[in-house]
Structure 1
Amino acid sequence: MKLLTAEYLLPIASDPISGGAVAIEGQAIVAVGGSGELKAKYPSAGVEDFGNAAILPGFVNCHSHLELTAMRGALDDVEHDFKSWLLKINDLRSAMTDADIEDAAIAGAMEGAAAGVTCFGDIGRYGLAGTKALKQVGLRGIVYQETEFSPDNRTAEGDFAKLGAKYEELRKEETDLVKVGLSPHSPYTVGSQLFELIAQYSILNRVPLSIHASESLDEMNLLEKGEGFFTQFYEKLGLEWNSPHCTPIEYLERLGVLSTRPLLAHCVTVTDSDIKKIAANRASIAHCPKSNAKFGHGYAPFEKFLDAGIAVGLGSDSVASNNV
């Protein structure tokens, strides 16, 4: 038995406690209260006093890409151009070995733990890296296995089969603390049929989803007007992709994806109507202000999210889009 004491204790679920203590037995917190009260209740417990400090629960990073930790500062020269950033990060990641990616994820998890983060919502193309990292560092969270670049409906069934195989293999790594989910990357990199297949699979098997959505004006122009860089890129690669002529959030609702109650990352360019749809479907949002600012994408309407009753958490995004 051990007591952790400090000038302040912030339980979060209840009011702050002045002169508070946390009683720990093994790996479990067994009591929270006033220091005098717990010392009397557990007289033989060792005491570690942090003095003029505050003890509070670990932070939750709702949106990260731990496997990209090695890229800190590597894309600063293209941060002003989202198109160039996307192309460069794909090239850099392709040059990394599985061992490189796993080392990067472990380094990211250790950085997070040192900063007080004890729970991650981590998205990874190589999901095993994030899963191993959280387990090795002793953290909790959900690792979302990300889709490959799959915007063309002609490859939807094959792409879904490959994704499902990765997910089922990753599930074998689950523990009480580390769970796995799926991440259809975004409305502009995943075709409509693949989105529908993933949504159906999620609902039937209770698989959590996380999606990048309404992150930039480039994405909005593609979805609403069928214009911009992404359209030209698809044409260059000979891919079939048709604009739904609606906002990204409306698109996800049409496809049944919002009904899975996904964790939506960014939501910078959402409309008031989008916010109502997110709230009505009880989806949640990972707010990433540092990443949004670094790219110059603008800022998400955070207060409107809260006013609508949407659950909102903070995310760092990757260090490739947030050097902190």
Structure 2
Amino acid sequence: MIRRYRVGWLFTMCGAPIQDATVMVEDDRIVGIEETGIWHDAVDLSQWAVMPALVNAHTHLEFSNLKHPLGTQGMTFPQWITEVIRYRQGFGEDLAVEKAQAIRHGLKQCAEHGVGVVGEIATLPLMEVAYDRPDVQVVSMLEILGLDPERKEERFGQAREHAVYLWSHENVTAGLSPHAPYSAGMGIVDECVKLSRQYQLPLAMHLAESLEELELLEKGTGPFRMMLEHMGLFREEDFPGGKKPAEYIEHLAPAYRAMVVHGNYLSEPEIALLKKYQETMSVCYCPRTHAYFHHDRHPMEALLADGIRVVLGTDSRASSPDLDLWAELQHVAQTFPNIPAEQLLPMVTRDAAFALGLEGSFGTIDAGQKAMATAFHVGSDCPDVLSAMLAERPRLWNLGVGLTQLDLATA
């Protein structure tokens, strides 16, 4: 059965927006787009702007039950990490169940905010049932930690197992996340890159996230050293000083796809490297988490000027007020008013899907793509559709199963 939808404004992410377009869907896939044409059985969406389902490139859903971010605004990043560890330890033996409930709640929140794809940083223990949400595609990127040399092979085993795991839910694919320079040695990074190439998996690594991280790499000193010493994990040979994020970018570059998460303090040499490897690498900016920690201005303008793919993520509710990806985009529009609105949309659709290795199914509205869309009610004869969309709230539509009156309700 072919379903037809006549859309007021269609943002395909493959070219300029199309006014008065008909989208044709069969089963769960788009089969065609007509720029004109009247079909008697087409659903009238003439007052709507439709774009690909939003893609949240980076989040940690296990914190989705939090009402407020952990700690206080402007606290140092290592202090916040301590709060995260304390929060996780508070669940004791109930950790797996509590995490599963939080993940399910988080996926629900994402869908309510128009998101159809999430790049989820997963931690063990992991209950697969938590991902049972067919309308949201999940890229489960297992967080791999590893500074303790005695546990290196155990960590490698966890990465390999996750890379080849056969998920029972069709909406889940795998990825890996060698966590960060202060928590994962270069051996962990290289093993994840090898698995990424072997199985075509996306990688994500927190990098150039804080000034404290840079101090640990460059000097081997500072709050992160004190934290690691307190945990019995600091070794001089791991952090001898003289290191830069650029070294990690070089090691990540051979991966099938690699995403630098945050990148708040990327310098010119690192940006030059990312430009060199832009075919497979991306930078994920989490705007409201960035603001929570009072970081310096994000270098996204310099990244975009060099043609580097910048995508957006909500991060988690441990550092952000909610999982509203569109609010992140609105924050960017306010913080960087010189970036055209049309340049922002790929950050939460086409480019984000590419960063997660899902460009064959998500990120654009085109023949063969999944029939998941995000919609905005903009009314008829709207003089500035993009501005109207930025002021609206998105909703997630599954065009493959049809739309209900609730989907189309505007009140």
For normalisation by structure 1, the TM-score amounts to: 0.87
Among 209, 214, 228, which residue is 1:220 paired with?
Answer: 214
* 1:99, distance to aligned residue in structure 2 (A): 1.9
Q: 1:73 is paired with a residue of what secondary structure? A: coil
Q: Which residue of 1 aligns with 2:352?
A: none
State the TM-score, normalized to the length of structure 2.
0.70
- Using the TM superposition, name which of 52-61 and 94-103 deviates more: 94-103
Give deviations 1:183-215, integer Å, cap 9, x for gaps.
111011112332233333333443321111100
Q: Is 1:10 equivalent to 2:6 in the alignment?
A: no
- Is the Cα contact below 8 Å between 1:6 and 1:49 reproduced in 2? yes
Given candidates 53, 76, 86, the residue that maps to 1:81 is 76
What is the CA–CA distance in structure 2 between the aligned matches of 1:311 and 1:85, rounded to whole Å?
A: 28
The equivalent of 1:233 in structure 2 is: 227
Q: CA deviation at 1:154?
A: 4.3
Match of 2:295 in 1: 297
- Counterpart of 1:183 (choices 153, 156, 177) is 177
CA 1:128–1:237 in structure 2 vs 1: closer, same or farther (change >3 Å)? closer
Distance 1:73 1:247 in 2: 35
Per the alignment, residue 278 of structure 1 pairs with 274
Q: Aligned residue for 2:62?
A: 67
Structure 1 residue runs without a partner (length 5+): none
Identify which of 103, 108, 111 aligns with 1:110: 108
Residue 37 in structure 1 maps to residue 34 in structure 2: no
Question: Which is further off, 174-183 or 106-115?
Answer: 174-183
2:120 & 2:196 partners in 1: Cα distance?
17
Q: Distance in 2 between matches of 1:245 and 1:281?
A: 25
Partner of 2:309: 311
SS in 2 for 1:300: coil
Shift of 1:75: 1.0
> Counterpart in 2 of 1:94?
89
- Deviation track 1:213-263 (CA, whole Å, cap 9, x = no partner) reads 100101111111111111112223332433253454223146x23322411
CA, structure 1 residues 79+143, in 2 after alignment: closer, same or farther (shift >3 Å)?
A: farther
C-alpha distance in 2, partners of 1:163/1:210? 13
The residue number in structure 1 matching 2:53 is: 58
Q: What secondary structure is seen at the aligned counterpart in 2 of 1:20?
A: strand
Q: CA RMSD in A?
A: 2.4
Deviation at residue 314 of structure 1 after TM alignment: 0.9
Instruction: State how far apart, in whole Å, the 1-side matches of 2:217 and 2:84 are.
Output: 23
Q: Give the equivalent residue in structure 2 for 1:20.
A: 21
1:144 matched to which residue of 2?
Answer: 141
Distance 1:127-1:15 versus aligned 2 partners, 3 A rule: farther
CA positional deviation for 1:279: 2.2
Contact 1:187/1:248 (CA < 8 Å) preserved in 2? Answer: no
Deviations 1:40-75 (A, max 9, x none): xxx4x3x33234221111111111112211124051
1:321 match: 319
Q: Which protein, 1 or 2, shows the higher relative CO under an 8 Å CA cutoff with sep ≥ 6?
A: 2
CA contact (8 A) 2:73 2:294 kept: no
Corresponding letter in the other structure for 1:32:
I
Cα deviation, residue 177, structure 1: 4.4
Separation (CA, whole Å) in 2 of partners of 1:240 and 1:120: 33
Cα distance change on mapping 1:238 and 1:114 into 2, 3 Å: closer
Query: Which residue in the other structure is 2:349 paired with?
Result: none
1:211 to 200, 205, 225: 205
1:180 shift after superposition: 0.2
The structural deviation recorded for 1:317 is 0.6
Residues paired across the two proteins, number: 313
Identity %: 26
Q: Give how far 1:133 is off.
A: 4.6
**Distance in 1 separating the partners of 2:215 and 2:48:** 48
Change (3 A) 1:164 1:79: farther
- Comparing 104-113 with 174-183, greater Cα deviation is found at 174-183
SS of residue paired to 1:103: helix
Q: Which of 157, 173, 197 is 2:153 aligned to?
A: 157
* 1:197-208 paired onto structure 2 within 5 Å: 197-208=191-202
Higher alpha-carbon deviation: 240-249 or 292-301: 240-249
Report the Cα distance in structure 2 between the residues aligned to 1:202 and 1:127, rounded to whole angstroms: 22
Determine the C-alpha separation between the residues in 1 that align with 2:319 and 2:144. Answer: 19
> Do 1:10 and 1:56's aligned partners in 2 also have CA atoms closer than 8 Å?
yes
Query: Post-superposition shift, 1:312?
Result: 1.5
Q: Residue 3 and residue 65 in structure 1: after superposition, are their counterparts in 2 closer, same or farther (change >3 A)?
A: same
**Local SS of the residue matching 2:23:** strand
